[in-house]
Structure 1
Amino acid sequence: MNKYNGLLSAVSSQYHILRGKQETELDWKTRLVYSICGLMAYAALWDESEEPISIVHLKRRIRSMLDSYKSMYPELSGSLPSSSEELEDEITNQFLNVGVVYHSPYRIAPSMKREEPFGGILFQRGIALDDISCVSGIGFYSKREEETSSDRIKAMFGLEPENLQRLWHTILSAASWKSNSAFEHNTEYLRLKQPFSDRYWMPEPDKTGVVSILRTGMRGAQLYYLYRYTNTTLEVSQLPQWRVESHNYRALACACLSAYGTLPPIEYFEDGTLVHIRMNYLLPPRELEFLKYYSWPEICSTSRWQYNFRRKLSADVFTAIKNVLSDEGYKFKGVVI
């Protein structure tokens, strides 16, 4: 940590990226470099240039930072992505998905400033570089003992405003049931019980009379329906496309499992100033991106798919995010590792 005049130690102190009690120095350094790449990508939005700032420019900055730090700290080569492309996409997509940048063809720009306090944390977006005081993952925040409703955080990051139980009730209330016997090929049914580690969908329906979800059609153009069996008759009610497109069906899947008491809790392990989490069922896209933005991958060197399920974040931010997601109906379970 003392190389280059204590560069990483200075970053750790400036942005409050503190080492966990059981965390190795290698893992700590990896987190710092990950956050530095995010900070420098954010800084690139203010680069002075005759041409507009583009996605390509942002990704080049991330690539340059990653290559530089891997050269400066060769001991991190095995814990950082071997190719910068995955990290470029990961950081860029997070900026886009949580509204850190505005995107138009061939141009991106920082979003308007917005700050919302909740749970002792001031969640921030669109702030000036010099105003960044704390970083968790690549997300910016400050500490502020001021309370407001979690609804304002949900609105800021586009999270589902309804609790899972209410959401499922709303979906059922709007159902228009019709008998149907035409679903045969390319039809999958939501898995309602564990294990969920293999697939969330199964080839056979649940015929016990519960209301669940099916999807049918070619992948990428699937239609989603509520379904139930009345005696031996299949009844369905089509779900609105806006509810299910771009993986947003996971909000309804989580609501369905929550209603039946089978949605697995998010497990977490506290390690001083750091909290490790493991998702046993993937969150809906907006909630997932919110969590990812304020966290680090448990392991940075693996594929992007594995980035989603295991994360670690600042203990202060974890408490606030846990309360936001708990208000939505997600359960948390502390574990010992």
Structure 2
Amino acid sequence: MDKYNGLLSKVSRQYHIFRGKQETEEEWKTRLIYSICGMMAYACLWDDTEESISIVHLKRRIRSMLANYKSMYPELSGNLPHGSEELEDEIANLFLSTGVVYHRPNRIAPSIKHEELFSGILFQRGIALDNISYVSGIGFYSKQDGGTNPSNIKTMFGLEQENLQTLWQTTLSAASWESNPSFEFGTEYLRLIPPFTYSYWVNDPDETGSISILRTGMKGSQLHYLYRYIDDALEVSPLPQWQVENYNYRTLACACLAAYGTLPPIEYFADGELVHMRMNYLLPPRELEFLKYYSWPEKCTSLPCNFRRKLSVEVFAAIKNILSEEGYDFKGGII
């Protein structure tokens, strides 16, 4: 950590990115470089250039920073991405999906300043680079007492406001059932019991009378329905496209599994200032993007690394409270 006048040590202290007790020095350095690439990408939104700042410009900055740090720290070549494309996509997509940047044709711009306090963490976006004091992943925050209502932070990042159990009951109460549907293309049914390792969908329906979810049609334009069997006859109720498109079906899938008690818990293991997380069922897009924004991939060589993340212990506590309030279970232990 003493190379280049202790550059990485200074970054660690300035942004409170501390080493886990069991973390190797190489893993710690890799996290620091991941965060630096994110911050330098964020800084480029204010570049003084004759051309408009674009996604291409932002990705070019990430590519340049990664190449520079790989040259400076060749001992990390086995920990950092072999090519820069996956890292470019990860950071750019997280900035867009969490509202850190606004995207217009051929142009991006930083969001307006927005801060929300929850569980002792002031979540921030749109702040000046000089005002960044704490970083987890590529997300900025500061510490402040207070913040007991998660509603505002959920609104800030577009998270689900309703508890999973409530959401499922609301969805069922709005169902409009139709008998004997005719589906022309392949139909898949939500897997209701573990293991969920290989696919969340199966070819055979659940005929026990439980209400679940099916999807049918060509991949990319599938329609989703609630379904149930009544006296061996299939009944379905269409789900609104806005509720299921772009992988948002996972919100209802998690709600369905939670209702039947089969949604796997999120496992975590605290390692000093660091917490490792493993998801045994992928979170819905908005929740996943929020978590990823404030976390590091467990391994930078296998991006996007959606199932395994690590984050600062204080941010983890706040995010755990938010997701628990939504209805997700957590299980502490060794990952």
Range into which the TM-score falls when normalised by the shorter chain: over 0.9
Aligned positions of 1:173-184 closer than 5 A: 173-183=173-183
Q: Distance in 1 between matches of 2:303 and 2:86?
A: 8
| 1:148 to partner: Cα distance | 3.8
Aligned residues: 335
How far 1:184 moved relative to its partner?
Answer: 6.1
Query: Structure 1, residues 2-46: CA drift from partner, whole Å, max 9, x if none?
Result: 000000000000000000000000000000000000000000000
Cα distance between partner residues in 1 of 2:86 and 2:165: 36
Q: Amino acid of the residue matched to residue 165 of structure 1?
A: Q
Which stretch of structure 1 is more off in the superposition, 281-290 or 138-147? 138-147
Is the counterpart of residue 68 in structure 1 residue 68 in structure 2? yes
Aligned residues: CA RMSD: 0.8
Listed one character per residue, the Cα deviations across residues 36-72 of structure 1 (whole Å, up to 9, x for unaligned) are 0000000000000111100000000000000000000
* 1:3 counterpart residue number: 3
Q: Secondary structure at the match of 1:123?
A: strand
Q: Distance in 1 between matches of 2:85 and 2:180?
A: 46
Which residue pairs with 2:114 in the alignment? 114
Aligned partner of 1:13 in structure 2 is 13
Residue 336 of structure 1 corresponds to 334
Residue aligning to 2:162: 162
Tell me which residue corresponds to 1:50: 50
Matches within 5 A, 1:96-115: 96-115=96-115
SS at match of 1:247: coil
Partner Cα separation in structure 1 for residue 303 and residue 56 of structure 2? 22
Instruction: Give the 3-state SS of the residue equivalent to 2:124 in structure 1.
Output: strand
Name the residue aligned to 2:314.
316
Aligned residue for 2:311, secondary structure, equals strand
The residue matched to 2:334 in structure 1 has which SS? coil
Moved more, 49-58 or 1-10: 49-58
1:296 aligns with 2:309: no
**SS where residue 108 of structure 2 aligns?**
strand
1:336 to partner: Cα distance? 2.5
Would you identify which runs of 4 or more consecutive aligned residues in structure 1 move more than 4 Å?
none
Query: How many angstroms does 1:158 deviate by?
Result: 0.2
- List alignment gaps of at least 5 residues for structure 1: none
* 1:89-124 CA-partner distances (Å, limit 9, x unpaired): 000000000000000000000001000111111000
Q: Scaled by the length of structure 2, what TM-score is found?
A: 0.99
C-alpha offsets along residues 283-315 of structure 1, whole Å, 9 cap, x if unaligned? 0000000000000000000143xx100000000
SS of corresponding position for 1:86: helix
CA contact (8 A) 2:136 2:294 kept: yes
* Structure 1 residue 181 displacement after superposition: 4.1
Match of 2:244, SS state, is helix
Give the secondary-structure state (helix, strand or coil) at the position aligned to 1:246: coil
Paired AA for residue 20 in structure 1: G
Q: Counterpart of 2:209? A: 209
Instruction: Provide the residue aligned with 1:89 in structure 2.
Output: 89
Counterpart CA distance in 2 for 1:16 and 1:105 is 36
Check the 8 A contact 2:139/2:294 in 1, yes or no. yes
Q: Structure 2 CA distance, aligned partners of 1:202 and 1:55?
A: 38
Deviations 1:148-200 (A, max 9, x none): 41001100000011100010011001100010242364100000000001100
The 3-state SS of whatever aligns with 1:51 is coil
Alpha-carbon offset, residue 146 of structure 1: 1.9
SS in structure 1 of the partner of residue 224 of structure 2: strand
Partner of 1:220: 220
Gaps of 5+ in 2: none
- Identify the residue that residue 323 of structure 2 maps to in structure 1: 325
